[in-house]
Structures are given as C-alpha cells and as structure tokens.
Chain A
Amino acid sequence: QKEVEQNSGPLSVPEGAIASLNCTYSDRVSQSFFWYRQYSGKSPELIMSIYSNGDKEDGRFTAQLNKASQYVSLLIRDSQPSDSATYLCAVNEAGSGNTGKLIFGQGTTLQVKP
C-alpha cells in the first residue's frame, strides 16, 4: 500500500526559530510533492510544490526533496505565531495516469510560541 508518513507532533518552536517538518513516502516513482497548510477549522491551502531533487525557496519557506531517500521536508525560517497550523504532505499517486490523485500524510501540527 502506498503511504505518506509524517510525525503528527506537535512540533513546538520559539518565535524566530527554524521549523523543520519531515515527510517520507513509499512509492519510489512518485514525481510531484506538495505541502499544504491547514489552520484549525479551515481547509488545506497549497503553500509549496516541488518536482525535482534539491531545494525550492519561496519567501520564508524552503521545500527540500531527496528522491533517493524518498524524503521531502519543509523548512520555515523566522517562524511566526501565525505559522501555527497543521502541515500536510501530499505525494502524487504514481501510475494513476492523468487522474491527479494525491496521497496525503496525516499532518504535523506546528506550534510557534511567542
């Protein structure tokens, strides 16, 4: 069974620190990787996508992908209390053609303390 694994947390960091969120996936041929942010009681919001090995930076967010290790991470620099949310890792379901199906991890709850 194809799986996406995340540590459910909570991960607690002080304001201004770097938060590091990690995700592993089981399907070696997956090609597309996403990070969604979900505030309590709200819907998931896409914040980062990454498709090739290495780092991708967008403002305070950096996504890192290592396909050999089947590992994707999200770094949040200068963490703010407004970053407190659940972060969902999602991976495309390889072999599903053009269906666009994603497999989601269970999410990591991040708490940024002032």
Chain B
Amino acid sequence: NAGVTQTPKFQVLKTGQSMTLQCAQDMNHNSMYWYRQDPGMGLRLIYYSASEGTTDKGEVPNGYNVSRLNKREFSLRLESAAPSQTSVYFCASRVAGSPNEQFFGPGTRLTVL
C-alpha cells in the first residue's frame, strides 16, 4: 500500500506557465482534497471531491482547477501560474463514513518565478 502519492515532488515555473499536479491513492477512499500550505498560514483547502464524479471549491480556489479522473486520482491544474501560487501543495484522502480522518501525501513544493 503506497497510501497517497503525489507527483512531482518539486517544480519551478515561470509566471504564466501551466502545470498539473497529480495525486493518487490506493486505499479505496471516496473523498480527496487539495491544500496549500504557506508559512504561518496553516493548511488551506483549495478544492475537494467528496466522491467520484463531484468536485467543489474550498477556501482558496482562485487560479486553480481540478479533475477527479476516477476514484483513485485527483489532479490540480494551474492554468497560468503566478508568484502568489508559490507554496507547498498537499493532497489528502478520506475513507467514506470515517469521521473526517484525512491522510496526506508527501507534498509538492512549487516555486513560481
């Protein structure tokens, strides 16, 4: 069991470039989440997918899009990267029916120049 995996681990973009962050889980979890973590800001929810086929905005969705490709995979896309999107991005998943316990992937450290 790999748990929650994320690719890439590190990425440097120039302003205006696009990229997709990939996330996959092999725990048969229903719900998946994308967070960003900035110094002193804690974790902030970008988008989530409560179940396969549904996605919804979190606290800070502007500048991002998501796709729940299937039950295992949930991707985050930056269409036109901005320096304000420099952050560490974490994907998490949760088993259906659990009282909100989320399990995190290793993260992607993104720098936008």
Contacts and interface: CB of A to CB of B under 8 A. Distances in A.
Contacts of A92: 99-100
Interface string B55-89: 01010000000000000000000000000000000
Interface residues of A, number: 26
Nearest to B43: A104
Interface in A42-96: 42-46, 49, 51, 88, 90, 92
Interface residues of B, number: 24
Contacts of B99: 31-32, 49, 51, 92
Contacts of A102: 45, 100, 102
A7 interface: no
B90 A99 contact: no
Contacts of B106: 42-43
Contacts, number: 61
Interface string A94-114: 000111111011110000000
B90 A106 contact: no
A69 B43 CA distance: 24
A34 interface: yes
A107 B38 CA distance: 12
* Best-buried of A32, A46, A51, A102 by chain B (most CB within 10 Å): A102
Contacts of A20: none
B101 A34 contact: yes
B40 A100 contact: no
Interface of B: 31, 33, 40-45, 48, 50, 56, 58, 90, 94, 98-107
- Considering the complex of A and B, which 3 residue pairs feature the smallest CB-CB distances, nearest first? A106-B42, A104-B43, A43-B104
Given A100-B48, A100-B94, 19 more contacts: A4-B42, A8-B40, A32-B99, A43-B104, A43-B105, A44-B90, A46-B101, A46-B103, A51-B99, A92-B99, A92-B100, A98-B50, A99-B50, A100-B98, A100-B102, A101-B33, A101-B100, A106-B41, A106-B42
